């Protein structure tokens, strides 16, 4: 199956800082999603972004499908941004998402 690798595995930021999370995938995809898991375990879909760029408030994401990577940008981070960020990819011709191991983000006041 497809391999999904995320970096960095852990990230500590001071409130107000910016960050970039990276997701590399091993094969062509027709679905790429970013999720945020809060400290209570709830997973929230942030972006559905198989290609191109999208923005939602302080968050934006870019996927370059031809080079098999996606980036999640967090600007002016807040303590509520803490949690684990997952990238998940769906390989062309397959039916289910494959998740990376996540980036654990801690934003300190």
Residue 45, both tokens: 């879909």
Residue 43, interface with another protein (CB under 8 A)? yes
Residue 101, interface with another protein (CB under 8 A)? yes
Nearer to another protein, 3 or 20 (CB): 3
User: In the set 11, 13, 19, 33, which binds another protein (CB under 8 A)?
Assistant: 33
Work out the burial of residue 92: count CB atoms within 10 Å of its CB; fewer than 13 is exposed, 13-18 middle, 19 or more buried. exposed
At closest approach, how far in Å is the CB of 65 from another protein? 15
């Amino acid at each position: 199956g497809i391999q999904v690798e995320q970096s960095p595995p852990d990230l500590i930021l001071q409130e107000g800082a910016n960050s970039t999370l990276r997701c590399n995938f091993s094969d062509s995809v027709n679905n790429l999603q970013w999720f945020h898991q809060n400290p209570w375990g709830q997973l929230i879909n942030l972006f559905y972004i198989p290609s191109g760029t999208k923005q939602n408030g302080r968050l934006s994401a870019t996927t370059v499908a031809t080079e098999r990577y996606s980036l999640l940008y967090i600007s002016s981070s807040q303590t509520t941004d803490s949690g684990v960020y997952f990238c998940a990819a769906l390989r062309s011709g397959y039916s289910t998402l494959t998740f990376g191991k996540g980036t654990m983000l801690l934003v300190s006041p």
